[in-house]
Structure 1
């Protein structure tokens, strides 16, 4: 059995929550893939797998501990509660030691066999190698449509373009990891942070499989919240857009007011209709409430940043997982 390396070539980050059934199959498949990787001189590469237990309430942590007993290269940090996947990824980045880092989900829909191709691209000089799905046939039609809409909206409003149909599954050079670790914000949208860092990037295509073990922890409400976090963390365009809309509505109201004044001077006093007045009041009231809601999203994030609380809290460490300097 291999001993854990002080500076492995590859560190795999696996955020998990209530995934006790998926731990053993994932470890079995991933260790075979990593053991088969070879360095440029033909020797086997050193690796580690870091699980980040994001407040699981089942036997996920004991399953990880059992895997660690069998192979000390499998390590973990357990968070004190559920902080969310973005925070769990941040905890993983803070506690891995590899020259390259690969975030991946435990459901194995993203095939670990692609890591070898990613490593080849890294050796050619790319600091970020992201996985791109050839198709989204495993997703439902509403999810495919909303995903396409989100990627287009994000890339239209933000200068930090994120690759379409690319998730968190990618290979990151250590320099990229250090840049992301230095970012202090609490409202973290990892795909946006990966894009903001820049560096030389390339894609590796793959086919995404159906999930066979466990169930997804994301629903449409959580995906909606993640989309809002992504847009508000990467761009102030929503605020700017509503400024333009407010200016346009004010200009139209001024033109209409001048029209009413002119008509009154020419044709006398006109009795305004109740229906048209209510339509105008309700329309403008709705626009104001919507604009206040958008403004409130940004103000709420300012409050979170101003508090300065830690992104996550570690309750327990398994193996040699330890925060880097």
Structure 2
């Protein structure tokens, strides 16, 4: 019996390239006839014709399925929803822009057949990206690896293939602002890498401008490290030492310029306070989001799924979570 492989594809304003994506996925599935495939496209509140194109494709080919969000909830939650609906023995995640080639999933499946539970794509090269984006991404992954206790592989995104049991554990988690690649590392199991070269985007523009990149980086850091909270001790200590050194220098030189001293001290100490308040606010914000117990996302409609399965999933995500991971029952 053929094993079912689910491929989850988050989509946000990718109408210009979806036709090419459908074609590449069909061609990919025809080469791997030993498996059955389902392609789960999660429309994350697109404002173009993305949803319409996916609906049309789903009508022509039953392997293509649609989860339609009521608005834009974000890339990470789109992946989260797709994982919850995936029914395959293994589940792959890829973006709709084809920068992560589906052909690499074939290599991941070989690793999966060999006994690995998570096979993540690790980028050797990144084509078509600016020097700033390549450098900042490289720096972020290495900083994140050093400040967390979870071993999150460097130079990896969300492009990966996971065994059904890994997906089942991920679906048990209820973080309101998930950092999926970090959570996959956190749940453990047997993991390995497949090296590949990330391709240049053929259509459209990147949906991760600097603002979203910074937000994702902050989600990763605040999800898996409490080290920034300890910066208050370090920066406070630096401020005290700097103040003492400055005081001794002025005492030694008999140079007391009161105005300059007050201004420099105020700027320095205010900066330290504001930085630490900002870091503390990031953690408090995550606690606040979790305490509200709102659904993480809202699904407006689905297509291609069994009606009872879709209804069951919608009921599960609409129930607020209580402390300890319990759910409210009426």
Determine if the TM-score, normalized by the shorter chain, exceeds 0.5. Answer: yes
Q: Deviation at 1:242?
A: 2.5
CA contact 2:231–2:276 (8 Å) conserved in 1: no
Q: Are 1:124 and 2:119 counterparts?
A: no
Q: Are 1:111 and 2:106 counterparts?
A: no
Q: Are 1:24 and 2:9 counterparts?
A: no
**Stretches of structure 2 lacking an aligned partner (at least 5 in a row):** 317-330
- Structure 1 residues 270 and 117, CA, compared in 2 at 3 Å: closer, same or farther? closer
1:41 aligned partner:
none
Q: Deviation at 1:254?
A: 6.3
The whole-number CA distance in structure 2 between the counterparts of 1:284 and 1:177 is 46
**Stretches of structure 1 lacking an aligned partner (at least 5 in a row):** 39-43
Structure of larger gyration radius: 1
Q: Are 1:291 and 2:243 counterparts?
A: no
Q: Residues 185-196 of structure 1: matches in 2 within 5 Å?
A: 185-196=175-186
SS at match of 1:102: strand
CA contact 1:8–1:48 (8 Å) conserved in 2: no
Q: Deviations over 1:168-202 (max 9, x none)?
A: 11101111111111111101111111111111111
CA contact 1:10–1:100 (8 Å) conserved in 2: yes
Q: Are 1:172 and 2:177 counterparts?
A: no
Return 272-281 or 203-212, whichever deviates more.
272-281
CA contact 1:35–1:45 (8 Å) conserved in 2: no
1:304 aligned partner:
289
Q: Deviation at 1:255?
A: 7.6
The whole-number CA distance in structure 2 between the counterparts of 1:214 and 1:169 is 19
SS at match of 1:167: strand
Q: Are 1:49 and 2:39 counterparts?
A: yes
The whole-number CA distance in structure 2 between the counterparts of 1:106 and 1:30 is 10
1:80 aligned partner:
70
Which of 24, 28, 36 lines up with 1:33 in the alignment? Answer: 28
CA contact 2:67–2:302 (8 Å) conserved in 1: yes
- Structure 1 residues 270 and 115, CA, compared in 2 at 3 Å: closer, same or farther? closer
- Which aligned segments of 4 or more residues in structure 1 are displaced greater than 3 angstroms? 250-257, 269-272
Q: Deviation at 1:248?
A: 4.0
Q: Deviation at 1:252?
A: 5.4
Which of 135, 160, 173 lines up with 2:150 in the alignment? Answer: 160
Q: Tell me the TM-score normalized by structure 2.
A: 0.87
Q: Deviation at 1:19?
A: 1.5
Q: Deviation at 1:214?
A: 2.1
SS at match of 1:20: coil
Q: Tell me the TM-score normalized by structure 1.
A: 0.89
The whole-number CA distance in structure 1 between the counterparts of 2:190 and 2:295 is 30
Q: Deviation at 1:247?
A: 3.3
CA contact 1:23–1:60 (8 Å) conserved in 2: yes
The whole-number CA distance in structure 2 between the counterparts of 1:196 and 1:138 is 31
The whole-number CA distance in structure 2 between the counterparts of 1:279 and 1:157 is 31
Q: Residues 94-243 of structure 1: matches in 2 within 5 Å?
A: 94-243=84-233
1:12 aligned partner:
7
Q: Deviation at 1:251?
A: 5.4
Q: Deviation at 1:35?
A: 2.5
